Amino acid sequence: MPNPHVNFKALWHGLLTGGVGLALCRRLLEEDGRIHLCIACRNVQKSEATRNLILAAHPAAQVSTVEVDLGNLAAVLRVARELRCRFQRLDFVYLNAGIMPNPHVNFKALWHGLLTGKLLHMLTTAEGVMTQTDRLNGDGLQEVFATNLFGHFILVRQLESLLCGNEKPSRLIWTSSSNARESAFSLSDYQHAKGQESYSSSKYATDLTSVVLNRKFNEQGLYSSVVCPGLVMSNMTYGILPVFLWKLLMPIMWLIRFFAKTYTLTPYNGAEAHVWLFKQKPEYLDALVKYHSCTSGLGKNYVEPRRMDVDEETAEEFYQKLLELEKQTLERYSDLLD
């Protein structure tokens, strides 16, 4: 158990090495070198590699690691138990893990967007451009839904004792997307088993979840926010097109940024909204706003709040479905529950 007299901040963070997660860790330490970072990856090697990269830049930093696959419920329950043993409270939980399996670009839709004058909108939101092929995971859940949302939801539920009732507010900060669209989401198919835009559906589900969590837990000192990192060149992004195409497109993308401020491009820029929220008082934030990382054509980073296109009644219905699914799926893992 942690020393009860030590006043530390433990931050949970699901990240991809070299992506927004690593950049966020470094930027948070630049803001406050006293924080205790607890980083999470899918395997021990990635966790340790990430920790070493952070310590190379910040040798005196307090950095610990845990291993978890957010798409595996047993792994989520085990790591929640470990965190409850190691920490007395969590001040910030950055929920950043995500997958986009087998992404495909719809070139026909891009051509149509060019002819109809909607190309810039499509390039900045990926609306109608990106499709994915999803599959069931070992828990019988759609893989994208399980990894991008449900695993995080179960983790938050399991860590309520560390997040609620503290002297200072605790924060959940979800990485959402400008691709989070209501048109890709359905309450009757909230795992998105029947469609081809599972990523967009999971991110819209993230927005809905955050809205309800604020309604349920603000009085207990837990606040939830969602951010969009913009278009960041990360491991996920590089999987969409062959590497040689990205090399050809990069000069064009830098030019597009003069017209599309969400083309943050680098992980450092993409973490702008995450870091900005780290410095805000949650009581004064709007629960219905998504905070977007933006970068000007000349390279200046800033945060732009945009009201989310969410229906609060739909959000409540979806939350109840998550609770029902939680009850159904956790019955088989009673040995991992306290």
Mind telling me the catalytic residues? Answer: 199
In angstroms, the Cα distances linking 94 to 28, 155, 167 are: 11, 12, 20
Short-list 60, 52, 5, 3, CA closest to 33: 60
How far apart are alpha carbons 262 and 252 in whole angstroms?
14
Q: Phi/psi of residue 8, each to 5°?
A: -125, 165
Residues present in the chain in total = 338
Q: Which residue has the tokens 């085990």?
A: 78
Three-state SS sequence of 63-98: EEEEECCCCCHHHHHHHHHHHHHHCCCCCEEEECCC
Query: HSE of 250 in the Cβ direction (CA atoms, 13 Å)?
Result: 11
Which segments of 218-295 does DSSP mark as H helices, in order?
235-238, 243-256, 267-270, 272-278
**What 3-state class would DSSP assign to 306?**
strand
* 20 in Cβ contact with 44 (< 8 Å): no
